[in-house]
A and B are shown apart, each in its own frame.
Chain A
Amino acid sequence: MKTLLSYLKRYRKEAILGPLFKLLEASFELLIPLVVANIIDVGIAGADEGIIIRDALLMAALGLIGMLFSITAQYFSAKAAVGLAATLRHELFDHIQSLSYSKAQTVGTSTLLTRITSDINQVQTGLNLALRLLLRSPFIVFGAMIMAFTVNVRAALIFVVTIPILAAVIFGLMKITTPLYKKVQGKLDGLLNMTRQNLTGVRVIRAFNNEDKELSDFESGNEELTRMQQHVGRISALMNPLTYAIVNLATAALIYYGALRVDVGELRQGQVVALVNYMSQILVELIKFANLIVTISKAMASADRIQDVLLMKAGMDIQPESERTGNACLEFDHVSLTYPNAGDESLSDISFSVGHGETLGIIGGTGSGKSSVVNLIPRFFDTTGGIVRVDGVDVQSYAPESLRKKIGIVPQKAVLFKGTIRSNLLMADPDADEAAMCEALRIAQAEEFVRGKKGELDAEVAQEGRNFSGGQRQRLTIARALTRKPEILILDDSASALDYMTDAKLRHAIREADPNMTVVIVSQRTASVRFADQILVLDDGHAVGLGKHDELMESCPVYREIYDSQFKKENDGKEAGSEEEQ
């Protein structure tokens, strides 16, 4: 809560003015009974029509002023609540983006999404109501109690007993329901997850005729949520009836006590009526307050959940500037990596060094650590041993942005963003001109199909690039990386959806495009890496080979095995022939 409230500071003025105007309005409300009393005691008793008319007009005027104050209060409250929600959304989104990659992965997209949507909406509603009513209700409750004291101190003691009992009931129920509401929200999270899953996996679900199973899973999750909601609902539904009963019992006690006092001449009938009126004023406020509490406890549960995310440590530490070591463009110095919560090392003692303009190929089996090597270069993860250097400087000493500026990465999963082809390319370099973009498209073998699209560079791209085929997406993501003219281009198995011909053309074009660009190609295909200056062969996180194709064919059994599996085994004369042509 504390962190969240600190964001409210920006709206301090609104957050103070809102309740303040509300209190002013409430004060006017407390005045009305006095005016009515005046009408009865002075106007009617003294048969003075003038006073009656004057007082009635006064009441209307008080109502008008009350309305103006109230509207002002509503405006400030709404502004503070909506403003806080917007600020929170901004902060949360910013924070989520700054979370380390591994952290964001563990939490999961859908959880983060509910936090930033429905949780923040709850907080907005809760704060808006709280600013308007949270102070007002106690103000009237205690105001009424003080008024009771002015009438009769001993009778007022009944108020002193009643109010704590009411408070105990309200806060007790709140204490029970808050964690339950948290659970409800958790269940809702689960449903959200399932809904998303049914959308992303629709093809597989339908292919396996799993619609009914998915539906019944959803229904049982939904049923559980409903049960949970009803359970909390039943408990918080006690609030109004309980407070109502207590107040009425207190009223009965007041009347009985009043009767005793009146009998001995200590109180007058009118004063008893006044006391009863104050008690009922308390009741009216409490009903509002109880409703408010339900909303607020929901909002608090949501606030906690938002806070959880905000408290996650963001980003990575940046090491002080380190000595420049060597001239290599990219160097791994005895690097090992163990993922959080994983037992074994995913990379062990990897060392290599790539000069400017050289090409490094990385090949190896599934789970051999190819992607891990690649993820260490833009510092998506931190090494657990050894140092990764780019341009001779430890990647941990770079500001993440300046490090990543040097690198153009084409991730395994080819993702584009909603917008246009142009807007996607500009992601990599906002200053790229038309010519640079066309050049990037040309190298990425994407020029032809982009030209074929309506609007060409301005052709629309749907969310995640769904309106493009897998291969088209891959080429566009390559073009995106090329647009920024990176020092290091990383292709993380990013030609997998391309046929051999396009793949080969692509590699040619990249090689020719910029002789100074260092290229890292991760692939399953020996054909994609065989012409690299160096090939790193990975097996189960260990480097089992490093060298040129011919050397590795001689010295590295794993590499030879991979190569053979692709070519030699089924070689017929024709293929052997074409190989000799090389």
Chain B
Amino acid sequence: MKKNSKAAPGTFLKVVKRIRSHWLLLVVSILCAAANVFLTLYIPVVNGRAIDHIIGKGQVDLAAVLDTLKVVCVCAGLAAAAQWVMNICNNRMTFEIVRDLRNDAMRKIEILPLSYLDSHPHGDIVSRVIADVDQFADGLLMGFTQLFSGILTILGTLGVMFSVNWQIALLVVFITPLSLFVASFIARHTFDMFKLQSETRGEQTAFMEEMIGNSEVVRAFSYEKKSLEQFDEINERVKKYSLRATFYSSLTNPGTRFVNNLVYAAVALAGALSALRGRLSVGQLTAFLSYANQYTKPFNEISGVITEFQNALACAGRIFELIEADPQIPEPENAVELDEVSGSVDVDHVRFSYVPEQKLIENFTINVKPGQRVAIVGPTGCGKTTIINLLMRFYDVDDGAIRVMGHDIRDVTRKSLRANYGMVLQETWLKNGTIRENLCMGKPDASEEEMIAAAKAAHAHSFIRRLPQGYDTVITESGGGLSQGQKQLLCIARVMLCLPPMLILDEATSSIDTRTEILIQNAFVRMMKGRTSFIVAHRLSTIRNADIILVMRDGHIVEQGNHEQLLAKNGFYAEIYNAQFTE
């Protein structure tokens, strides 16, 4: 086993470690397997004894036959019970291990740095958590069910055979490793194929997620054929690897069975020749043959388990890769809990870029006093969203520091930092669940009145009320039946409910019609009163009310000041401002 998993010895050990925590179930399972094997091996012996009482016409000891048969019935019942208990133990072990794996994976997802999540295809991560774990469960269950009873059967039959005739038993022992050799030879070669199959399937899932998830674009450009072509290209590869993996792995069975047949023939030959010389009775030969059969069968099963296990290990490897990915930088021991935040934010000579070779934010410095409004404006792609990533500490700065209330945000708990920001992002995201659940995300213990008040403040109440189940309407994937604007209103209501001391508004109103927008802006003005706010906005009316306007271009702050100052400067800001009216 260990040798076969050479490609992933680490993975194998990790799997063992996870099994170890269920040792009690494992012990019960093994004991049941032992009882089961013992009884199944014992029953033919008892049956044989019964047959010995049936010698010929008039030579039948019916009472003795009945007695032995009673023993058979009891043994069969016990064996069945033992097997059932073993199955239940294995079930429990497998599904609990798998459950823990999934939970660990999810736990890791929650603390992975955003740089990881932004750079890995979501479909691939999903496929690890769902499909790979599932495949692993299949392999593990099969392993538990067949491995122990298989090994015990081998040991049991070996014992019996040695007790009957040690020479022939030795012969059997010498030939059978052949079957293990064949199995491990095949398994080694299939492992790579299973890995390839897994990887290609991941690639395919990522592709499908992109195409199916954005079907409106695919349709608009009549791209279906082309995307089907691309799909087919990946599909062909999946097919190729899958065929190889499946076929190679299914060679194990015929291969080992052939070795077993050789063993059987050899036993028949040696046994019959010994019988000729009177060293073995015909009855013993028959028993020997049936045991030789029982002895070799588990090798088949075990080799089957090995192939399945190869596949499972390949999957487990991908899961562990995720589980062991580097989490975000842990908080320092003495991390400060931010409370009583009045909202002073200092950005001090910050340098940041997503990829080292592409400089983005450089030497960025501002001091924001409590209650001030900071509008970030500039051409698209100038790094405005990046600032949000940094303020919320979705990404860490490369150099310099951001301080809230004088604390470097790296010395503050992420929880308390984020709890002090209310954020409305450019891309509306709602979770699957009811409107209520979505609104109360930031304040799970909010009362009905508070929630409705927030919804009213965001002008969401009236349309929510008109939905079939009102606040209990379930929102499906990515918002489902709601319009972009309605989703945005919900996102705003979500923030309205918890009203933290600092706000981040990222083009929050871009999809809301201007009539509603006016109402919302009024609400925002109320909300922003006394709160430090960062607004990435294009609406000049929003910008005009700001205390500080940061004009950005290519990641730099090119101008800084209020509306009047900047207009008077007649620089880049003035250019942008005037563009609204040039046609």
Q: Is B159 an interface residue (CB 8 A)?
A: no
Q: Is A244 an interface residue (CB 8 A)?
A: yes
A116→B208 CA distance, assembly (Å) = 9
Q: Is A516 an interface residue (CB 8 A)?
A: no
Q: Is A78 an interface residue (CB 8 A)?
A: yes
Q: Is B226 an interface residue (CB 8 A)?
A: yes
Q: Is B264 an interface residue (CB 8 A)?
A: yes
Given the interface contacts A36-B268, A83-B239, A264-B57, does A44 sit within 8 Å of B518 by beta carbon? no
Q: Which residues of A are found within 8 Å of B206, using beta-carbon distances?
A: 418, 463
CB distance from A394 to the nearest CB of B (A): 19
- Give residues of chain A (234-253) contacting chain B, Cβ–Cβ below 8 Å: 234, 237-238, 240-242, 244-245, 248-249, 251-252
Q: In the bound complex, do residue B513 and residue A562 qualify as a contact, i.e. CB atoms below 8 Å apart?
A: yes
Q: Is A34 an interface residue (CB 8 A)?
A: no
Q: Is B566 an interface residue (CB 8 A)?
A: no
Q: Is B122 an interface residue (CB 8 A)?
A: yes
Interchain Cβ contacts under 8 Å between A and B, 15 examples: A53-B269, A109-B212, A195-B126, A195-B130, A199-B122, A208-B442, A209-B419, A214-B106, A244-B79, A245-B76, A260-B62, A272-B51, A367-B485, A368-B513, A500-B576
Q: In the bound complex, do residue B580 and residue A504 qualify as a contact, i.e. CB atoms below 8 Å apart?
A: yes
Q: Is A436 an interface residue (CB 8 A)?
A: no
Q: In the bound complex, do residue A464 and residue B242 qualify as a contact, i.e. CB atoms below 8 Å apart?
A: no
Q: Which residues of A are found within 8 Å of B62, using beta-carbon distances?
A: 259-260, 263
Main secondary structure of the interface of A (DSSP, over half): helix
Q: Which residues of B are found within 8 Å of A116, using beta-carbon distances?
A: 208
Q: Which residues of A are found within 8 Å of B257, using beta-carbon distances?
A: 63, 66-67, 70
Residue with the greatest number of chain A CB neighbours at <10 A, chosen from B54, B66, B478: B54
CB distance from A296 to the nearest CB of B (A): 14
- Give residues of chain B (398-445) contacting chain A, Cβ–Cβ below 8 Å: 414-415, 418-419, 421, 423, 425-427, 429-432, 441-442, 444
Residue with the greatest number of chain A CB neighbours at <10 A, chosen from B127, B219, B276: B219
CB distance from A384 to the nearest CB of B (A): 17
Q: Is B349 an interface residue (CB 8 A)?
A: no
Q: Is A112 an interface residue (CB 8 A)?
A: yes
Q: Which residues of A are found within 8 Å of B396, using beta-carbon distances?
A: none
A-B contact count (CB 8 A): 519
Q: Is B514 an interface residue (CB 8 A)?
A: yes
> Could you give, for residues 499-513 of chain B, a 1 whenever the CB lies within 8 Å of some chain A CB and a 0 otherwise?
000000001001111
- Give residues of chain B (126-143) contacting chain A, Cβ–Cβ below 8 Å: 126-127, 129-131, 134-135, 137, 141
When C-beta atoms are compared, the residue in chain A nearest to B378 turns out to be A499
Q: Is B99 an interface residue (CB 8 A)?
A: yes
Q: Is B88 an interface residue (CB 8 A)?
A: yes
Q: Which residues of A are found within 8 Å of B65, using beta-carbon distances?
A: 255-256, 259
CB distance from A256 to the nearest CB of B (A): 6
Q: In the bound complex, do residue B228 and residue A93 qualify as a contact, i.e. CB atoms below 8 Å apart?
A: yes
Q: Which residues of B are found within 8 Å of A211, using beta-carbon distances?
A: 110-111
Given contacts A255-B47, A502-B380, 9 further A-B contacts (CB under 8 A): A49-B273, A77-B250, A202-B114, A214-B431, A215-B103, A241-B79, A263-B54, A418-B207, A470-B380
> Could you give, for residues 90-123 of chain B, a 1 whenever the CB lies within 8 Å of some chain A CB and a 0 otherwise?
0110011011001100110111001001110111
Q: Is A148 an interface residue (CB 8 A)?
A: no
Residue with the greatest number of chain B CB neighbours at <10 A, chosen from A124, A238, A569: A238
Q: Is B484 an interface residue (CB 8 A)?
A: yes
CB distance from B195 to the nearest CB of A (A): 16
Q: Is B220 an interface residue (CB 8 A)?
A: yes
A312→B422 CA distance, assembly (Å) = 43
Q: In the bound complex, do residue A52 and residue B379 qualify as a contact, i.e. CB atoms below 8 Å apart?
A: no
> Could you give, for residues 545-561 of chain A, a 1 whenever the CB lies within 8 Å of some chain B CB and a 0 otherwise?
00000000000000001
Q: In the bound complex, do residue B576 and residue A501 qualify as a contact, i.e. CB atoms below 8 Å apart?
A: yes
Q: Which residues of A are found within 8 Å of B381, using beta-carbon distances?
A: 449, 468-469, 471-472
Q: In the bound complex, do residue A203 and residue B261 qualify as a contact, i.e. CB atoms below 8 Å apart?
A: no
A484→B221 CA distance, assembly (Å) = 9
A570→B250 CA distance, assembly (Å) = 77
Given the interface contacts A90-B235, A263-B60, A366-B483, does A104 sit within 8 Å of B212 by beta carbon? yes
- Stretch from A174-182, A328-336, A348-356, A406-414 contacting the other chain: A406-414
When C-beta atoms are compared, the residue in chain A nearest to B414 turns out to be A206
When C-beta atoms are compared, the residue in chain B nearest to A505 turns out to be B579
Q: In the bound complex, do residue B380 and residue A475 qualify as a contact, i.e. CB atoms below 8 Å apart?
A: yes
Q: Which residues of B are found within 8 Å of A44, using beta-carbon distances?
A: 272, 275-276, 282, 285
Q: Which residues of A are found within 8 Å of B538, using beta-carbon distances?
A: 498-500
- Stretch from A138-146, A149-157, A385-393, A523-531 contacting the other chain: A523-531
Q: In the bound complex, do residue B96 and residue A226 qualify as a contact, i.e. CB atoms below 8 Å apart?
A: yes
A43→B285 CA distance, assembly (Å) = 13
Q: In the bound complex, do residue A78 and residue B232 qualify as a contact, i.e. CB atoms below 8 Å apart?
A: no
> Could you give, for residues 464-480 of chain A, a 1 whenever the CB lies within 8 Å of some chain B CB and a 0 otherwise?
10111111101101001
